[in-house]
Structure 1
Amino acid sequence: MATPKFAQTAQSFHTELKKRISLYFEEKGAAMTGNLTLYSKAAILLVAFIGVYVHLVFFTPVTWLAVLECVLLGGIVAAIGFNVMHDGAHGSFSKYKWINGLAAFSLNVLGGSSFMWNVKHNVIHHAYTNVDGVDDDIDIQPWMRMSSTQKKYRLHKYQHLYFWFLYSLLYIMWIFVLDYTKYFTSRIGSMPLKKMKLWDHVNFWFFKVLNLFLYVGLPIYMLGFVDWLIGFVIFTTFAGFVLSIVFQLAHTVEHTSFPVPDENSGRLEDEWAIHQLKTTANFATNNKLVCWLVGGLNFQIEHHLFPKISHVHYPAISKIIRKACEEYGIPYIEYAKTRYAIASHVSFLKQMGRA
């Protein structure tokens, strides 16, 4: 489909928001990027990842401990993705470009491709959130129906039951299938992939080989095939489910919308900022543990409106955004607890499967 265009208004809500947020940082005298809190968290996660990986591969703990450590490793990988890679990819981890590059590169070490992620997430998803045919995040066809504009199959009637299993496959599919599909087709869904330079090709293949060595070859050599396979399945399925559910709770719940461009003009109804507010939801923003683990992605509204601001500032700027929404009569979608958001997601899937 042709790339949609956003409505233009004389008095932009986004302009007013940017003015208020800029004033907040000026008054605080703080940078919009990460701070010591973020860097300390990144160090903790990095040390934890290396420690658990080394203990699993080189010291072979007893079975019950190995299983727990595989689950823990999956959680750490997801947390690094949320807290380090995500901020780095958006240029909000540090004020230094090279540090942001290193943070974003953590995805390559974990098995993904920072190049593919940048195009899929930063360029497409953030611009055209929940627009069917453009936003690749809601394209899980034919296995799941995530929008009323998508074709419905008989199996979708049960998607609210089997999504637990399907989401668990995300990480392993990401590593072994999805990145390669994007690479060889030069497309992300219906959108063309940005042209890759020689360095991008070398980068892609070097880290894919490194990933196979770190997570497949070396563990099989040290542990044997069966032990590796059991541990790898536990590790990847837990990481996959956590990654999937956090991103889905932000956009595919009962109260978010799925705008459709006008057939003639190709324009969407709202300006970009209002579009983001209508298609995005927050959850568990008062839960400090959730906030720490998911890198502020439970403040998804703040992230979508200001992706260049580090997630450590989201709790503060959320108050400003919420107040502006109240003044302008714009919805601010939020679920008080994670379980409420999950329940809403299940209900949404049920509606999409039966509507």
Structure 2
Amino acid sequence: MPPTSTLAESPSPTRARASEFAPLLRLVKERGLLDRRTGYYIRTLAANSLALVGIWAGVLEFGGSWWVLLLAVPLAVFSGRTAFIGHDAGHQQIARSRAVNRALGLIHGDLLLGMGYGWWNEKHNRHHAHPNHVGKDPDVEVGALVWTRAQAVERQGFARFLTKHQAWLFFPMLLLEGFALKVATVQDLKRRPPRDRAVEAALLAAHLAGYMALLLAAMPVGTAVVFAVLHHALFGLHLGCSFAPNHKGMEMPEGDGERWGHLRRQVLTSRDVRGGRITDWFLGGLNYQVEHHLFPSMPRPHLRLVQPLVREHCRRLGVPYAEAGLVESYTQALRHMHAVGAPLRSR
């Protein structure tokens, strides 16, 4: 029997797993990968602003023709880029000052997109704290879609029909996501602290007034309605396609995940998407979901650089590291959603 002193020095499973992250964090800090990339973000902000101005100039120029609807496509893409900037600001990736990051989040969320930065940031931080954890992660709560069989069997009426066929309906339903985000924003306003509510309400009103004014100045009312619907539908599809591959079909702990420690909690519930620079650009760096969850304040351009370090660290620890191509990542997510609805299809 080992001496008592040896037993006392043996780390508990919880402490041992917590220490799994420490060597990786130390290495990342030594490499300067948590340092701010001010120049990168200045260029990103400038490029995105110029693109939006150019698209809206095109809308004003060609608004008298139905061909203007083609501009809803790049507007949806750069609206997605705007959302990614707001996302990075919410994670304090852009500036050292929390006030500056918040201002950037409010501008890119409330003012430019009409999407509540405060609501989204609070919800997203809860997701990062407990990714894919049933009962703790708001992204796997019961909504239009469900994520576990226990959630599925409770569905009734039309919701039951949606759950039966949710894998087939997933991409069509994403066309409504752009509208759903705005509805959720308005519903959440009353929960905001009074000062925050006043600021966000003013910015949201300015967004709505500016958006409507630009459309109605450029085109007839009928064309404006079609343009707005198309823009928001494609924007929702773009955002949904950016977030869908990240966690769906990965581990969904209900209680045991609390004993995992930071590294396992983030790695085992996340999936990376393989690809090159185009994938990085189109998905806003969210294709490095494992790395982003381990280091949420890491500037976006460093995620590609830290990936080999994380992959090798997980290999040494024997921790599964999930990675798939873009199409395969959607296939895995849809397969999970289809399996969730299986009990309803068998009745």
Check whether TM > 0.5. Answer: yes
Q: 2:152·2:340 contact (CA, 8 Å) conserved in 1? A: no
Partner residue in 1 for 2:83: 81
Paired with 2:302 and 2:220, the residues of 1 have a C-alpha distance of 45
Give the CA deviation at 1:116.
1.0
Per residue, is there more helix in 1 or in 2?
2
Partner residue in 1 for 2:178: 171
Partner residue in 2 for 1:150: 151
In structure 2, the residue corresponding to 1:273 is in which secondary structure? Answer: helix
Whether 1:345 and 2:311 are equivalent positions in the alignment is no
Identity, % of aligned pairs?
Answer: 22
Q: 2:59·2:218 contact (CA, 8 Å) conserved in 1? A: no
Paired with 2:60 and 2:179, the residues of 1 have a C-alpha distance of 19
Whether 1:118 and 2:121 are equivalent positions in the alignment is yes
Q: 2:291·2:307 contact (CA, 8 Å) conserved in 1? A: yes
Paired with 2:104 and 2:35, the residues of 1 have a C-alpha distance of 16
Query: TM-score, length-normalised on structure 2?
Result: 0.86
Q: 1:32·1:92 contact (CA, 8 Å) conserved in 2? A: no
Matches within 5 A, 1:1-355: 8-10=14-16, 12-25=19-32, 32-57=35-60, 59-60=62-63, 62-64=65-67, 66-82=68-84, 84-105=85-106, 106-109=108-111, 110-122=113-125, 124-141=126-143, 143-152=144-153, 153=155, 154-155=160-161, 156-175=163-182, 177-184=183-190, 186=191, 196-220=192-216, 222-253=218-249, 256-261=250-255, 268-284=258-274, 286-335=275-324, 337-355=325-343
Q: 2:149·2:341 contact (CA, 8 Å) conserved in 1? A: no
Paired amino acid for 2:283: V
Q: 1:132·1:150 contact (CA, 8 Å) conserved in 2? A: no
Give the direction of change, closer, same or farther, for the CA distance of 1:139–1:225 in structure 2 (3 Å limit): farther
Paired with 1:89 and 1:332, the residues of 2 have a C-alpha distance of 26
Q: Per-residue CA shift, 1:240-265, capped at 9, x if unaligned? A: 01111211210103xx1100026xxx
Q: Per-residue CA shift, 1:315-336, capped at 9, x if unaligned? A: 111111111100111111111x
In structure 2, the residue corresponding to 1:268 is in which secondary structure? Answer: helix
In structure 1, the residue corresponding to 2:36 is in which secondary structure? Answer: coil
Paired amino acid for 1:150: Q
- Which is worse superposed, 304-313 or 164-173? 164-173
Paired with 1:215 and 1:138, the residues of 2 have a C-alpha distance of 32
In structure 1, the residue corresponding to 2:75 is in which secondary structure? Answer: helix
Q: 1:159·1:350 contact (CA, 8 Å) conserved in 2? A: yes
In structure 2, the residue corresponding to 1:8 is in which secondary structure? Answer: helix
Give the direction of change, closer, same or farther, for the CA distance of 1:58–1:205 in structure 2 (3 Å limit): farther
Paired amino acid for 1:60: G
Paired amino acid for 2:109: L
Paired amino acid for 1:178: A
Give the CA deviation at 1:41.
2.6
Query: TM-score, length-normalised on structure 1?
Result: 0.84
Aligned Cα RMSD in Å? 2.1
Q: 1:302·1:314 contact (CA, 8 Å) conserved in 2? A: yes
Paired with 2:317 and 2:268, the residues of 1 have a C-alpha distance of 13
Q: 1:33·1:308 contact (CA, 8 Å) conserved in 2? A: no
Paired with 2:31 and 2:186, the residues of 1 have a C-alpha distance of 43
Paired with 1:50 and 1:224, the residues of 2 have a C-alpha distance of 21
Unaligned runs of 5+ in 1: 1-6, 187-195
Give the CA deviation at 1:48.
0.6
Give the CA deviation at 1:140.
4.7
Q: 1:56·1:69 contact (CA, 8 Å) conserved in 2? A: yes
Paired with 2:69 and 2:142, the residues of 1 have a C-alpha distance of 30
Q: 2:14·2:259 contact (CA, 8 Å) conserved in 1? A: no
Paired with 1:311 and 1:323, the residues of 2 have a C-alpha distance of 20
Paired with 1:113 and 1:168, the residues of 2 have a C-alpha distance of 19
Unaligned runs of 5+ in 2: 1-12
Partner residue in 2 for 1:190: none
Give the direction of change, closer, same or farther, for the CA distance of 1:268–1:144 in structure 2 (3 Å limit): same
In structure 1, the residue corresponding to 2:244 is in which secondary structure? Answer: helix
Paired amino acid for 2:186: Y
In structure 2, the residue corresponding to 1:13 is in which secondary structure? Answer: coil
